[in-house]
Structure 1
Amino acid sequence: MSDISNVSGLASSGASELFQILRDGKPRTRSELAEQMGLARSTVTLRIEALMDLGLVGFVQDAVSTGGRPSSRIALKAGSRVVMGVDIGASHLQVAVTDLTGHLLSQSARTMEITLGPETVLEAVVEIGSELLAATGRSTEDLLAVGIGLPGPVEHSTGRPINPPIMPGWNAYNVPGFLQSRFHVPVLVDNDVNIMALGERNMAWPEVDDLLFVKVATGIGSGIVSSGMLQRGADGVAGDIGHIRVHGGTGVPCHCGNTDCLEAIASGPAIAAKLRQRGLEASGSEDVVALVRAGNTEAIHAVRQAGRDVGDVLSACISLVNPSVIVIGGSMALAGEHFIAGIRETVYSRTIPLATQHLQIVHSSSGLDAGVLGASMLAIHHAMSPQRIDAMVSGLSNA
């Protein structure tokens, strides 16, 4: 048990406890807060003042009064401070600034190859992020944290990529250190599909505790939410379904060194390669999606088969983690029902009915914004954690 005998009424632990209550955005009076926390109103007032000094909470419209002077209510000031979310893909970069609830204030995207290396890509992040802050009338003084997703394995405790197969020059690179030196705030880094799972769950499935988010684009991966917690695994590679072998493969080589990996058979570039063999012009996911939308029969059949291959791997995943929702995202999800129909066809035919009786397999409602929304949530969860609020309040009292 912590010794709090020497902690004042402005104690950071007390202020952070109060703040966690107010994070839901619901306005409360001092009396309601005092009753909920089991503290004297004067103590609660001191803690409210500390959070107000940080600009995190403030007064809202007066509560309905039953007579006499109405009571002022206190609530989270969602727009007082901001976070930055960054989604780095194999060939794209997307940056967003959001408020403390994850609401998008400004965002920007550009085409950029991850193979350009960490300095070039992260310099672009700084440039775009600074422009977005200025566009929203903010500065780095208003920024609380940065969340970033990378298309490869990440050691979450350090934020460094670990042997990422499609990211030459990035292995063990100090991504947090680079961005911290520019923005002077905490930087959280995770695998891109993990942050997509966070973003999708927060925006569309907040009541669902067991969810798989599957990204199918240049690569294939999944983010696992089990019992309400994101699962990263012992070495940060939980959910790396793109390198599970597909049954009935023909020896297709994968960049990881193995053959017949799901990613080598059912990703956007893999489908495009098959279509080129049939005389169609397709270099990647966008071309495949365009052909499907144009009604090209060859493309539709190829996408449907890719969905079946993904469904084959997901059938095993369902038996392992028993999700209630599987969300399909990434650029290949834009191919519409043809792709997801192939997934459902295999999943429902190869998985026991008990595991699928309540299972929903759906398109991502966040679309291509899932990454930046999830990265923003990663930053928000850190910036608004009890430890960070403790540190911020402590900084006030020591100033």
Structure 2
Amino acid sequence: MSDISSFNGLGSSGASGLFQILRDGRPRTRTELAEQMGLARSTVTLRLEALMELGLVGFIDDPVSTGGRPSSRIALRAGRKVVLGVDIGASHLRVAVTDLTGHRLHEAERTMAVALGPHLVLQAVVELATGLLEESGRALTDLLAIGIGVPGPVEHRTGRPINPPIMPRWNGFDVPGYLQDHFHVPVLVDNDVNIMALGERNVAWPNVDNLIYVKVATGIGSGIVSSGMLQRGADGVAGDIGHIRVHNGTGVPCHCGNKDCLEAVASGPAVASKLRALGSDARTSEDVVRLVGAGNTEAAHAVRQAGRDVGEVLSACVSLINPSVIVIGGSMARTGEQFIAGIREAVYSRTVPLATQHLQIVQSSSGVHAAVLGASMLAIHHAMSPERIDAMVLGLSGAPTG
């Protein structure tokens, strides 16, 4: 499989710069575009024709009159081309067709265990995606890219899962190659928490450049946006906070082989285990949510302590990264204020005031849709990048390059 994380050797069509201006969705006349780019109007017209042929931009119906003949305006055609966002969870699939602004056009879900292996799961993705494209009236030629989130570590450059604990038979599997054989478009794969960070930021915090998204459910992980860019680190494991040791542990073993990891102490199953020891019927994160909702005092105390444990680790993250916002997602976030209050308590007491004076710690607003929205944004950012636009324009027969 080729590396789709970068492009080189294509040259420039000249149209990509024009398209990046129009990506904001604001209509402009050819004269305005020519002035903004410092080019002749005839050159702008040639580049617009290429973008129109690709179906990326078009004229809108409300020309502007300045006293003479109205000037036609051009804008992004956000609904013409589409991408697919795919959320592969531990026990579910969620697939959405979205336009180029990230608006979901059609969506489908299926209960399915990721442990069934890549062939069965990805075949289900193909079936759902094909049905959604038909339902939305789109052909394969309207699809620009696919973004996928999976519940495990990913080598982002190749899109292959690397030793994912809850994904047997997925290690090293060529996920992009499998789907490219069916859809013939670029496929980008990332860890589920990274794409949740993208989805949450796009939905709720588009003007925030420094954000941490924390998912607390069966496992614990975080996605980091710093200076407006998703941070993956040297090997794609940036944000793997679930295996940092916490002081509140009592020698609890973690599946990674260490003891008292945050995930082993404060995840949904870890809290459920503590409640079982106290006599409650709890085995999953959902059981913990149910008990807290029913007013169980022991569950509320356990959740509050789990929040403190998560906050202990996040206090170090705040000192290192200095985010403006920490978003808490995953099933444990649905236990309510007790959990987030525990996080705030630890973060604010353990971090210097300068780092927390403007810090917001909030519950996710995109909820269960964070991952599929983020997967769509991953695909959109790739499909609308200057390199991809150049590649598409230069692929047109007789495409202008001036």
Structure 1 residue 290: Cα displacement: 1.6
User: Which residue does 1:224 correspond to in 2?
Assistant: 224
User: Which residue does 1:313 correspond to in 2?
Assistant: 313
TM-score normalised by structure 1 residue count: 0.95
User: Which residue does 1:20 correspond to in 2?
Assistant: 20
In 1, Cα distance between the equivalents of 2:17 and 2:46?
13
- The answer to whether the 8 Å contact 2:64/2:72 transfers is no
- The answer to whether the 8 Å contact 1:13/1:386 transfers is no
Q: Which letter does structure 2 place at the counterpart of 1:180?
A: Q
| SS of equivalent to 1:396 | coil
Q: Does 1:100 align with 2:100?
A: yes
In 1, Cα distance between the equivalents of 2:161 and 2:70?
54
- The answer to whether the 8 Å contact 2:160/2:189 transfers is yes
Q: Which letter does structure 1 place at the counterpart of 2:179?
A: L
| SS of equivalent to 1:397 | coil
In 2, Cα distance between the equivalents of 1:33 and 1:375?
31
Q: Does 1:158 align with 2:180?
A: no
CA-to-aligned-CA distance 1:173-232 (integer Å, 9 cap, x gap): 101001111111100011111111111111111111111000111110001111111110
Q: Which letter does structure 2 place at the counterpart of 1:152?
A: G
In 2, Cα distance between the equivalents of 1:259 and 1:139?
51
Structure 1 residue 61: Cα displacement: 2.5
- The answer to whether the 8 Å contact 2:112/2:121 transfers is yes
User: Which residue does 1:31 correspond to in 2?
Assistant: 31
- The answer to whether the 8 Å contact 2:88/2:94 transfers is yes
With 157-166 and 57-66 compared, the bigger mean Cα shift is at 57-66
- The answer to whether the 8 Å contact 1:62/1:71 transfers is no
Q: Does 1:140 align with 2:155?
A: no
Structure 1 residue 48: Cα displacement: 0.7
5 Å matches for 1:61-210?
61-210=61-210
5 Å matches for 1:320-399?
320-397=320-397
Structure 1 residue 12: Cα displacement: 5.2
In 1, Cα distance between the equivalents of 2:339 and 2:51?
49
- The answer to whether the 8 Å contact 2:286/2:331 transfers is yes
Identity of aligned residues (%): 79
Q: Which letter does structure 1 place at the counterpart of 2:306?
A: A
In 2, Cα distance between the equivalents of 1:66 and 1:381?
36
TM-score normalised by structure 2 residue count: 0.94
Structure 1 residue 283: Cα displacement: 2.3
- The answer to whether the 8 Å contact 2:13/2:394 transfers is no
In 2, Cα distance between the equivalents of 1:89 and 1:265?
22
Q: Which letter does structure 2 place at the counterpart of 1:213?
A: Y
| SS of equivalent to 2:341 | helix
Structure 1 residue 287: Cα displacement: 1.7
* Structure 1: tracts of 5 or more residues without a match: 1-6
User: Which residue does 2:46 correspond to in 1?
Assistant: 46
In 2, Cα distance between the equivalents of 1:184 and 1:242?
36
Q: Which letter does structure 2 place at the counterpart of 1:386?
A: P
CA-to-aligned-CA distance 1:69-124 (integer Å, 9 cap, x gap): 10000000000011001111222221111000000111122222221111111111
5 Å matches for 1:6-17?
13-17=13-17
5 Å matches for 1:281-296?
281-296=281-296
User: Which residue does 1:3 correspond to in 2?
Assistant: none
Decide whether aligned partners of structure 1 residues 325 and 369 sit closer, same or farther in structure 2, where only a CA change above 3 A counts: same
- The answer to whether the 8 Å contact 1:62/1:70 transfers is no
Cα RMSD for the two superposed structures = 1.4
CA-to-aligned-CA distance 1:127-147 (integer Å, 9 cap, x gap): 111111122112322111000
Q: Which letter does structure 2 place at the counterpart of 1:62?
A: D
- The answer to whether the 8 Å contact 2:154/2:191 transfers is yes
* Structure 2: tracts of 5 or more residues without a match: 1-9
CA-to-aligned-CA distance 1:273-316 (integer Å, 9 cap, x gap): 22222222222111211221121212111111111110011011
Structure 1 residue 398: Cα displacement: 5.4
- The answer to whether the 8 Å contact 1:12/1:393 transfers is no
> After the TM superposition, which segments of 4 or more aligned residues of structure 1 sit over 4 Å from their partners?
none
5 Å matches for 1:256-275?
256-275=256-275
In 2, Cα distance between the equivalents of 1:38 and 1:336?
54
User: Which residue does 2:4 correspond to in 1?
Assistant: none
In 1, Cα distance between the equivalents of 2:297 and 2:140?
51
- The answer to whether the 8 Å contact 2:115/2:167 transfers is yes
In 2, Cα distance between the equivalents of 1:309 and 1:110?
33
User: Which residue does 1:233 correspond to in 2?
Assistant: 233
